[in-house]
Structure 1
Amino acid sequence: PILFPIFTHYISHSAFGVYVGSSVHEVAQVVAIGKVLGENVADTAILAKMVRVIMLAPFLFAISFIFYNKKESHATTSTGKDTKDSSKRFILPWFAVWFLGVIVLNSILPVPQRVVDGILFFDNILLMMAMAALGLSTQLSIFRAAGPKAFALGLVVFIWLVVAGISLQLIFA
C-alpha cells in the first residue's frame, strides 16, 4: 500500500499485480495485498503468484535430479570392487507432486465450493498453528546470534526484490 501510490504513475494496476504476485513470498500475503489495492490488482497478483507456484514443481524436480546426479558417488570395497553408494538417492519433492495432482484433479473434476471453503478454513488454522510453532521455537537470542550480517543480507534481498521487480515491470510493461 505504501509503494502503490508512488508506482501508479509509472505502471498500471495489472502490472503492479504482476509485481506483487512475482515478488511477494507467500500466497496469503499476495491475496491480502492484492485485495487492499483492488480487485484488478488482486486478480492479476494471484494469477502471477499461481504461475510462479506452478513453475516451482518442475524447478524442484530439476534441482533434485541435478543434485542427485552430483552427489552420486562410488566406493571401493576391500577387494577393489567399485560399488555405488546407495545412501545418495533421488529425492522426489512429494508436495510438488501432490500440488500438481490437485491442480489436474480440480481441472477435471471441480470440487464443490463448500468443500473448498472447508479446506481453506482448515488451511488457515494449520498456517496459524505453524506460525505459532515457529514463534515458539524462536527466541530473540537467535537473532542476536545471527548478527548484523544476517540482517544486512535480508535487507539487500528485500531491496533487490523491490528494485528488480519494478525494473522488470518498467522494461516489459
Structure 2
Amino acid sequence: MAVAAAAAFVAFLLHLAVPGIPLLTAAVALGMIVAQIPALRPLLDGPLKPGLAVSSRRLLRIGIVLLGLKLSLVDIAGLGLVTIVAIVFVVILTFGVTLLLGRMLGLPGYQPLLIAAGFSICGASAVGAMSAVTRAKDAESATPIALVTLCGTLAIVLLPLARIPLGFDPTEFGTWVGLSVHDVGQVVATAQIVGPVALASAVVVKLTRVLTLAPMVAIVGAVERRRPRAEGSAADSAAGKRPPIVPLFVVGFVAAVLVRTLLPLPDVALQVADILQTALLATALFALGTGIRFAELARTGWKALVVGLGSWVFIAVLSIVAVWVTTGLSAAP
C-alpha cells in the first residue's frame, strides 16, 4: 500500500509538471508502465500483491464514497428536466449498446458488463463498483480500465479540436464533455481547455452521470443475486456468497450526496475531502494499473478494443445529438 501511495505521489508530481495530464490518468498509466517491466513482476505478483489488492479495492471504494461530496441535488436540479432526462438516456442507451456489443463479440466473463459501466457512467470508478457487486476477478477489470484510460486520454486531445466544426459554444461543449468523457479528471482536463464556463457545465453534467452509478449497481446486484439460483448454485447462496444488491460503499456514496445537499459543509471540509478522495483514487488506480499486461491484451484483447472504441464513438455521437436536442428544446418558446 505504501508503494501504491508513493506511486500516486509521483503521478501528482507529473500532473504538476504537465497540468494537461489528469492526475488519475497519470496514476493508472504509471501502474500500467510498471507492470510491463519484467524485473518488477515478481514483486508485483509476490510480496506486493496483497497490499496492491487492498489498495485497488478498499481504497477505491472509500474514494467513491467521498466522490459523493462533490455533488449536490440542488446542482442537478439546476440543469433542468430536459438535460437530466438526456443524461439518463445517454447512460442507459450507451450501457445497453456496449453490453450487447461485448456479448456479441464473445468477451469473457464480466468484461462486457464492466466495459459498459466504465464507458457509460464514470470510467474506472464504475468498473470498480461493478466489480465489487459482481465479485469479478481482478483480471476481468484490467482490460476495461485500460480501455477507459486510453479513450479518455484520446478525448482530451480530440474533443476540443472537434468543438469548432460542431459549432458548440462553451456551455454546449461542456455539456458534451460531461456526457461523453469517462473519468471526472479526464472531464476536467478536456473542458478546461475551452475555459471556466465549459468547465463548470462539464463538471455538473458529469457528476450527475456519476449519480446514476447507484441505481445501475443496484439493478446489477439484484440480477446477480438471482443468477445463482437460476443456475442451480443453491449451495453458494446458502453459504452467503451471493453479492449484495447494493454494496455498502454505494450506499455511502448516496449518503455523501445527501449530506452535501442538506448540510452547510464548510469549504475547508470539502477541500480536505476532495484532496483525500483524489489521493485514494490515485493510489487505487495505480494498483489496478499494475494488473494490466500488454502482452496478454495483445493476444486476447482485440475484441475488447473493438468494443471499447465502438462504445467511445457511440457515446460521443449520441451526446452530440443530446446537446443539439436539449439546446433546441431549451430555446423553444
2:200 aligned to which of 37, 40, 43? 43
- After TM superposition, the structure 1 = structure 2 runs for residues 9-158 of structure 1, keeping only pairs within 5 Å, are 9-73=166-230, 85-86=237-238, 87=240, 89=242, 91=244, 92-158=246-312
Amino acid at match of 2:201: T
Compute the RMSD of aligned alpha carbons.
2.8
More moved, 99-108 vs 150-159: 150-159
More moved, 37-46 vs 151-160: 151-160
SS of equivalent residue, structure 1 residue 36: coil
Q: What is the CA–CA distance in structure 2 between the aligned matches of 1:154 and 1:73, rounded to whole Å? A: 30
What runs of 5+ residues in structure 1 fail to find an aligned partner?
76-82
- Structure with higher Rg: it is 1
Check conservation: 2:178, 2:204, Cα contact below 8 A. yes
Q: Taking structure 1 as reference, are residues 139 and 88 closer, same or farther at Cα in structure 2, changes over 3 Å only? A: closer
SS of equivalent residue, structure 2 residue 288: helix
Residue identity (%) = 26
State the TM-score, normalizing by the size of structure 2. 0.44
Amino acid at match of 1:146: T
1:61-112 Cα shifts (integer Å, max 9, x gaps): 233224324544597xxxxxxx9x5346461222221011111112222222
Q: What is the CA–CA distance in structure 2 between the aligned matches of 1:156 and 1:99, rounded to whole Å? A: 30
1:3 aligned to which of 133, 141, 159? 159
Q: Taking structure 1 as reference, are residues 90 and 14 closer, same or farther at Cα in structure 2, changes over 3 Å only? A: same
Amino acid at match of 2:181: V
State the TM-score, normalizing by the size of structure 1. 0.79
User: 2:84 — aligned with what?
Assistant: none
Shift of 1:15: 1.9
SS of equivalent residue, structure 2 residue 321: helix
Shift of 1:20: 0.9
Q: Taking structure 1 as reference, are residues 74 and 47 closer, same or farther at Cα in structure 2, changes over 3 Å only? A: closer
Q: Taking structure 1 as reference, are residues 157 and 136 closer, same or farther at Cα in structure 2, changes over 3 Å only? A: same
What runs of 5+ residues in structure 2 fail to find an aligned partner?
1-156, 328-333
Shift of 1:31: 2.0
Amino acid at match of 1:52: R
Q: Taking structure 1 as reference, are residues 55 and 151 closer, same or farther at Cα in structure 2, changes over 3 Å only? A: closer
1:143-172 Cα shifts (integer Å, max 9, x gaps): 222243232222222221222222332344
Check conservation: 1:22, 1:49, Cα contact below 8 A. yes
Q: What is the CA–CA distance in structure 1 between the aligned matches of 2:181 and 2:264, rounded to whole Å? A: 28
